[in-house]
Amino acid sequence: MEPTPPERRTSAQAPPRLSIVIPAYNESARIEAALSSVLAWLASCPWESEVLVIDDGSADNTSAIVHRWMASRPSLHLIRNPGNRGKGYSVRNGLLQATGEIVLFSDADLSAPIEEAQRLIDAIDGGADVAIGSRWLDKQRQTIHQPLYRRFFGRCFNWVTRKVMGLPFKDTQCGFKAFRRNAAQTIFRLQTIERWGFDPEILFIARKLRYIIVEVPVTWGHDERSRISYLRDGMQMLKEMGQIRSNSLRGRYDQAIAALKDTSEMVTPPVERDNSTPSVRARPGQV
């Protein structure tokens, strides 16, 4: 569970204001459009930023595409997982290596248009430690609706997260969440779930740590190219929920938190970046 610390920043270079982490598994059809939108929006923002694409062991040319884009974009970085490890592993790998004051992850399909990041940033500037995009707080903001069966499964899963884990949120699964960097460094080091069920776990941990969590309504256009399998991944997510519950009952999170003493001790300084050459960073083994 314990991650290896990222490489230490040695210079006095100020960290960027925002890091955007994009988990990517076989995303060759969608990643270019995502990079184009994300980098164009960031270029219009007055502050420094960085983008980290986490290639989750793709079998297609996702990495090659990102690599090509990196040649002319020094703020774009690629991190390769040691094989296909899951969205939860990918997000953790990216967020723990992100250097921004605010760190945000977004699905590669940009179902939430990247401009919506400003709403999460505003929530963090307003005092939140964690700002989670919500598709259900303001249903009017859903531009392309999910199919009925998907809404049904999504609502059922949300009901279970409320009942089993006591999470009071309308939408735990939205792939658009932002964190104050220190909060992300602490929360994600305690994460144990590496596939789809990681969202409720990180929210559960954040609540245990008494971080301020706000749900922010975001515009959301469903992308029908979703590859989640309701039977297989749904069963797996329920199993993971049981695992979180059992971790909790066995005091695993409390022990890990107590072992931190001062949670700020866990926060590593941002990593050093050489912006003169494109970087490909791998994190073999355990995150």
Ligand X SMILES: Nc1nc2c(ncn2[C@@H]2O[C@H](COP(=O)(O)OP(=O)(O)O)[C@@H](O)[C@H]2O)c(=O)[nH]1
By the criterion CB under 5 A, which residues form the site for Mg ion?
107, 109, 223, 226
Of the pair 144, 228, the CB lying nearest ligand X is at 228
x/- mask, ligand X, residues 110-149, rule CB under 6 A, reads ----------------------------------------
Please report whether residue 197 would count as binding ligand X according to CB under 6 A: no
**Which of 15, 23, 197, 278 is in the footprint of ligand X by CB under 6 A?**
23
Tokens found for residue 147 = 């199919």
Please, what is the minimum distance in Å from the beta carbon of residue 55 to Mg ion?
Answer: 17
Q: How many CB atoms lie within 10 A of CB 23?
A: 26
Residue 90 CA to residue 103 CA, distance in Å, equals 14
Please, what is the minimum distance in Å from the beta carbon of residue 66 to ligand X?
Answer: 12
Strands 130-134 and 176-180 turn out to be: antiparallel
Q: How many CB atoms lie within 10 A of CB 99?
A: 23
Interacting residues with ligand X between 49 and 78 (CB under 6 A):
56
Residue-wise burial string across 152-176, b where 16 or more C-beta atoms lie within 10 A, e elsewhere: ebbeebbebbeeebebebbbbbbbb
Please, what is the minimum distance in Å from the beta carbon of residue 54 to ligand X?
Answer: 7
Identify each DSSP E strand in 17-153 by its residue range: 18-24, 49-55, 76-80, 102-106, 130-134, 142-144
Please, what is the minimum distance in Å from the beta carbon of residue 136 to Mg ion?
Answer: 16
Residue 284 CA to residue 269 CA, distance in Å, equals 20
x/- mask, ligand X, residues 167-196, rule CB under 6 A, reads --------x---------------------
Please report whether residue 84 would count as binding ligand X according to CB under 6 A: yes
Tokens found for residue 275 = 């912006």
Please report whether residue 28 would count as binding ligand X according to CB under 6 A: no
Q: Which does 56 bind (CB under 5 to 8 A by kind): ligand X, Mg ion, none?
A: ligand X
Coil, strand or helix at 280? strand
Contacts of 234 (CB under 8 A, 6+ apart): 153, 157
Please report whether residue 107 would count as binding ligand X according to CB under 6 A: yes
Please report whether residue 199 would count as binding ligand X according to CB under 6 A: no
Residues in touch with ligand X (CB under 6 A): 23-25, 27, 56, 84, 86-87, 90, 107-109, 175, 223, 226-228
